[in-house]
Amino acid sequence: MLSRAENDRFVRVGAGTPMGELLRRYWQPIAAAGEFDSGPRTKSIKLLGENLVLYKDKGGNFGLVDRHCPHRRADMRFGILEDCGIRCSYHGWMFDETGKCLAQPFEDQVNAKARFKDKITLKAYPVRENAGLLWAYMGPLPAPELPHYEPFNWDHGFKQLVFAVVPCNWFQCQENSIDPVHFEWAHANWGKRLRGDEGKYVPTHVKLGFEEFDQGFSYKRVREDTDENDQLWTVGRVCLWPNGMFTGDHFEWRVPIDDENTLSVTWSYTMADPERDLPELTSIPWWYGPVTHPETGEWITSHVMNQDFSAWVGQGVIAERSFEHLGQSDLGIVKLRKALKVAMDVVEKGEGDPKGVIRDPEQAKCVPLPTMTRSSYEEYKKIAFGKAGESWTPEDEEGVKKRTHSFDYKFQFGQPDHIRKQFLEFMGFDK
């Protein structure tokens, strides 16, 4: 349990708050690069409590700037995109992606000598593209390296980027990244009941383990139906520092929009038949899913991440941790809180980079993570057919086609038809 004041240190993300300052030391995924494929455009976003505009200019440069123009506060979302920068559409002041004021048409006309523009900047943050995502860095410069995690290099499979806006605080979402027992209940058992299956509950967890490393924690489990030789124990999954998770085939980040809303960002990978020549994709497909049913307003609970969203939002907009009662299953959460506390202290005391920040470009080029082989093709077949290591018979192929045709993307509700179609064609299930 945490006191109100202790809780506040974890949940508040605005500039100047301990957690806000800590999270600003890391690159955050904020959108899909593919959202800007159709050409220059702006998109208003809120990140760590700050109202911002993300844009791509005519020269292909990405920028992330204050929502409001420093002249008289007009909305930069309506900005005119130039070859290099964005121009406020109200009186034409123009800025580059570093926030430098390049032009003030009327001031430049009547009093160029005063160079008023040299005194003006638009708040701006660096943006970079990696793994199909756009990443922003809102901390002190120079920015650290943007980690390129090793799975981003996996090339023989279908990738997609999935987003959702979840109306609760980021930290209860991230605590879920180190909560092994919830898989048994929130997904397996609750999922069964939601499907109307009144059968026996799934095998229970009997042992948990947590190991800290530079990029987070690995968490391991033994269930009644597994032993310590299983990769669930020998490798485990990753609570990715500071606000993500990696399961072996997908990443999830919980990116704070503000204290009361979180952008869920998923980078998902499905391995394809190793024998298959894959079509080229120009950019990674992306989509945003709803969290409630548009007609009824009810929470969507049919898909894995929607079950998580429902659990997180159910904890309250900001979970009241002074009322909680932690048990043995929460050891990982205790470890995560401790590590975040240490990292917040490092930043507050000005003691240099907190945990996990990478400054060495060579190191950032390929950051390895513990990876269970769930994404291997054999495993994929196991999931698809319920049997491992057997050859892919025509009946199997029929079976997988049926499943992939009849099932949505199982991790999150709302995959659009055109992406489903793209997936089926890509994987060779389109006949």
Residues at the contact surface with ligand FES, assessed by CB under 6 A? 69, 71-72, 74, 88, 90-93
Nearer to Fe ion, 21 or 308 (CB): 308
In the numeric block, the tokens 């701006």 are attached to: 124
- The nearest distance, CB 217 to Fe ion, in angstroms, is 16
Radius of gyration of the chain (CA): 23
Considering the complex, what minimum distance in angstroms separates the CB of residue 185 from Fe ion?
Answer: 10
Choice between 82 and 273, CB closer to ligand FES:
82
**If we measure between CA atoms, which residue out of 84, 81, 25, 75 comes closest to residue 52?**
75
- The enclosing H or E element of 251 equals strand 250-258
Q: Which residues of 142-161 are buried (b: 16+ CB within 10 A; e: fewer)?
A: ebbbbbbbebbeeeebbbbb
Instruction: Find which of ligand FES, Fe ion, none residue 364 binds, CB within 5 to 8 Å per kind.
Output: none
Where are the alpha helices (H) located in 183-318, listed in sequence order? 190-194, 231-234, 304-314
Least Å distance, CB 75 to ligand FES, is 9
For residue 125, give both structure tokens: 């943050």
Stretch (H or E) spanning 347: helix 331-348
* Partner whose binding site includes residue 232, from Fe ion, ligand FES, none (CB under 5 to 8 Å by kind): none
* Comparison of 118 and 362: residue with beta carbon closer to ligand FES: 118
Nearer to ligand FES, 42 or 176 (CB): 42
90 binds, among ligand FES, Fe ion, none (CB under 5 to 8 A by kind): ligand FES
Q: What pairing do the DSSP bridges indicate for beta strands 157-166 and 286-288?
A: parallel
Looking at the Cβ atoms of 96 and 308, the one nearer to Fe ion is 308
Cβ atoms of 186 and 313 within 8 Å: the answer is: no
When CB distances are held under 5 to 8 angstroms depending on the partner's kind, the choice from ligand FES, Fe ion, none that residue 165 binds is: none
Question: Which residues sit at the interface with Fe ion, rule CB under 5 A?
Answer: 308
308 binds, among ligand FES, Fe ion, none (CB under 5 to 8 A by kind): Fe ion
> For residues 74 and 304, which CB has a smaller minimum distance to ligand FES in the complex?
74
By a kind-dependent CB cut-off of 5 to 8 A, residue 377 interacts, out of ligand FES, Fe ion, none, with: none
Residues near 216 by Cβ (< 8 Å), separated by ≥ 6?
Answer: 238, 239, 240, 241, 242, 244, 356
- Nearest-approach distance from CB 230 to Fe ion, in angstroms: 19
